[in-house]
Structure 1
Amino acid sequence: MFTVDDGVLTATVSHLRACLPYEGVALWSGESGRVTHWTPLRNVALRPDIHYAVDPGEWVAAWTACSAERRIPLALVHSHPTAPAVPSAADRADWHYPDLTCVIVSFADGGLDWQLHRMS
């Protein structure tokens, strides 16, 4: 699907780890096939321990910045603090991003696993 710059991956995992015990969320962007930039986003879900919701204002700002900097939004990344890196029923039901890849980073059992999913 695409490659991720090491610095982007390191920064994203650090951000998501800092959000624990809650789910974290971020946007990956770059060129077609290569993730060169990440944007951390706030999780504004009512139950951030089991779900994520992107702050609408931050979402618009992230997409506007991508456009202004000629980056392509490529993936919405979120974490699962205690569950595997597979989409939950809620993840699937609330997926409103047909052009993006879903990336889930799992910290279950103190480990680190990440997987890409096409949700469209």
Structure 2
Amino acid sequence: MHSRIQKSPLPRPLHRSNAKLNGFILLEVLVAMSLVASAWVGLSTIYQGMILRLGQLQEKRVELRKEIDRHELAILTAAQRNNSSPTSGKLADESIGMSRRSRPLPSPRRATHQK
């Protein structure tokens, strides 16, 4: 007896050499995602380091300005004790600490660039 073989309505699978690949394979997507993730982590680490150094530099600037103010006050009080010297009149008329500063310190929370 001859048995009937039913043909499947699905087409035969094409050979890989004949088929066009439309899209990306999973490996390519994983490699691209790992590159983006590693770049993101690297840049965020660099940014955090820069912010930390900026904060440390601002603290040093504040300490230096405080030290300059203390020094200027010491000079002024020494000059006021010796009113007989000719330079004491000049030092007494000078405003304390304002000769070195032309602008105030920027606040670390306030943006320095405005659009």
Between structures 1 and 2, the one with greater helix share: 2
The structure that is strand-richer by fraction is: 1
Same fold, judged at TM 0.5 (above): no
Bigger Cα Rg: 2
Where relative contact order (Cα < 8 A, 6+ residues apart) is larger, the structure is 1
